[in-house]
Structure 1
């Protein structure tokens, strides 16, 4: 995979190069009305998830409660992965409803697994506007008389193991796809590659935040491409071709499109993680700031004259500094142009995705079907 070469204020080959023009700030956190419609094709129902009925008997009510909490925290989402898969699978010639439904279910389960693990890694206790598995398990432990530290530990382990259960369930669904063995082997290789990339990207994110030093823009974009784009956008589209038995020449442009588009989604997600309205996003807009997440926002801010003030508002990296002030850091990131810059990066990534998709190997009808996903990437409010 060719690395990004950062040049000036933008991202370089092969993704994009930022020009000197000024980008309009779209106010993505203010425009609730511009929210994309949920594109769920096959919601993964509670009966299909890893619930208490799938677990051994006799483990006690605590396990039953934990499994019920897992079910409650994994019931809603945009269904973007299944929608991407369905569009490509259909236009690549796929007609088997059993394959389509099973692949959509596996992709959504994989997404849920990574969301649960991501919340554990980031120390978040809310997702989609309500307590997540870690939050529910922690609260339950506290209500049962556990100390704050012990309840937090049980909650963290509950989240970690819940994510493991969902990951096992997802891999089981992929392994049971009703396709010929050679096709299944190819599909599993794609799944394995995406899972490995996402796990490695998540670790890079946590490691970068823990050390507290600002990252480079190149590194921030590489993290987004690995932890988000690989499984969330590229995998569904490539699997659509593989499972449909579509033309091999469709895969390279779709893989490139997925990398650009998925990275754009992550950049916008990082902007929402700081400037978004928690009532709309369903999660805190302070967490990424408090943990100094290695994002394009901080990478850009560290190159400006306002960085010492941003660094101080984030709590600094030296002992004895005052605690973080997320509101002040947010205001300074806007003032130094980090927010505008990040949105410009996302816009150019979407432009690069369109260019990759505009390939003779990609049918016009498929380009039209995928266009809404590109159009809404910059208009998300959650």
Structure 2
């Protein structure tokens, strides 16, 4: 059987088709041969247990992909990480040391301290959205905008409104970059913003994340280039991922009036519904940056040769029927025995997951409180078969205030 081809442009991938493909691959084997979007063939896990096993095994390295050699890669941007260093590209103790400096500013306690500010931003953003009319597009006017507002406030900068800047960000994260000229053009638009922010916070520090990182007492763990690129890393990863998940959940609620009405009538069900919605809302094809085997190893009955690339597919893991019976059905009454892995697993678990959870939770709760009805203007008899892996480019909703 020919290797399974992962899509290049993840924003165009159909969620239902991907799920069915993963189910067929899972029936074939727990670890299957795939064709990476940029760089050739490798392996991919198809089950929940093997995703956890692979991403927690130090034999599978992310750092070796930064050495300039050719490896199968998920995105073109991964071909030259050395020019845009990120703490996420390191392994082991080096990664953990750098990560610890950042995550101490993103703990549950610190994130909870941002709830009041975030709630105010949500209410103001929804007020502005309502002033645009009814129905209105929630994707661009809320789902993408709210996380951007929160992130910019966290970094200590005004909300970015430059369309060319935002388009360059989406070009990179949606894997639309396919050659070095496009990559240089996108980064040429993005990097000056954060170079200027770094210089400003170095000279005039404030009460914000960027200033705290620069002034941290563990000075020296992060290089100047890494700190300069902190904003870029967070914007490309945290802002986009949060926006996609929020948009996907808004889209789902707008297509499921029974679920929406039930959550309004029984708000105590929200926490379990939220986890189920997270499980079924991916960020692209949920195939993160691959890993490279440092030594020969057996994974799911397959021998992975040293130097071969492996991808642990989070979307396949979250819809593994061995863990989630009838996995493609959203069931808020589901008995949950294993937590989903939408934020990853292992040492590289998303460091901003507490912030993302808080933003999405408060946003959905305010929408449920504020709107008596909340319906997508595009009728979908096939929902959710026509949804995309990165959620819809527009979610136009007609709403009725409670």
**TM-score w.r.t. length of structure 1:** 0.29
Query: Going by fraction, where is helix more abundant, 1 or 2?
Result: 1
With normalisation by structure 2, the TM-score equals 0.28
Work out which structure has the larger RCO, using CA pairs closer than 8 Å and 6 or more positions apart in sequence. 2
